[in-house]
Chain A
Amino acid sequence: DTAVSQTPKYLVTQMGNDKSIKCEQNLGHDTMYWYKQDSKKFLKIMFSYNNKELIINETVPNRFSPKSPDKAHLNLHINSLELGDSAVYFCASSQGVGSDSSPLHFGNGTRLTVT
């Protein structure tokens, strides 16, 4: 009965490779997000989708491309991985409907290590 699930949990890869992280939520939420947590635990939003439409696109290299096939899924594809991409990536969802900002529900994270 996992609410927000993301795979894989760990991802170790070499520089220059392309990788994807998948996320699914079964909460019926309209909005999904990707956050990046660096080694100092600082959390920064990367993207947000509301009903499959991109609504937040922070200053993220265009090597990062989110894709939302439906409102329950938000995947993150990363091209040409660099050492600095090493971090923990969290998927989250919320029942945002534009006039309120409800709490975020997080997945357990994907620890990406680029060597």
Chain B
Amino acid sequence: AQSVTQPDIHITVSEGASLELRCNYSYGATPYLFWYVQSPGQGLQLLLKYFSGDTLVQGIKGFEAEFKRSQSSFNLRKPSVHWSDAAEYFCAVSPRGGGFKTIFGAGTRLFVKA
């Protein structure tokens, strides 16, 4: 069955420290991969996406993610976290060749401490 796993329900990081949020997927073939961020009371905003090519993708707000086919992973990273990064982060996949059905992980809540 298709699924997206974000093993960490929540993570606390000190401001200025580095961050890595984990994402693993289970899919028949390599899907399209996304990370979204949701601030309180807001909708989800796309941080970055992987379709093909370079496995290290850059996104907005200084985020990057690395696709590792052998591990079925697409982990999100940021070298130095800012207090404004506190939010809920969702990893998502959708099938190649259409289908329009994006599947989301359960989310990881990021807390940033001063």
Q: B104 — which chain A residues lie within 8 A by C-beta? A: 42-44
In this complex, how many residues of chain A approach chain B with their Cβ under 8 Å: the count is 29
Among the stretches B19-27, B73-81, B87-95, the one at the interface with A is B87-95
In the bound complex, do residue A101 and residue B43 qualify as a contact, i.e. CB atoms below 8 Å apart? no
In the bound complex, do residue A43 and residue B43 qualify as a contact, i.e. CB atoms below 8 Å apart? no
Pair count A-B, CB < 8 A: 66
Q: Which residue of the partner chain, among A33, A101, A105, A108, contacts B98 with CB atoms under 8 Å?
A: A101
B102 within 8 A of A: yes
Q: Which residue of the partner chain, among A40, A45, A100, contacts B102 with CB atoms under 8 Å?
A: A45
In this complex, how many residues of chain B approach chain A with their Cβ under 8 Å: the count is 27
The 21 sampled A-B contact pairs (Cβ below 8 Å) are A41-B38, A42-B104, A43-B90, A43-B104, A44-B104, A48-B100, A48-B101, A55-B100, A56-B100, A56-B101, A90-B43, A90-B44, A97-B98, A101-B32, A104-B92, A106-B36, A106-B43, A106-B44, A108-B42, A109-B41, A109-B42
Binding site for B on A (CB under 8 A): 4, 31, 33, 40-45, 48, 50, 55-56, 90, 92, 94, 96-101, 103-109
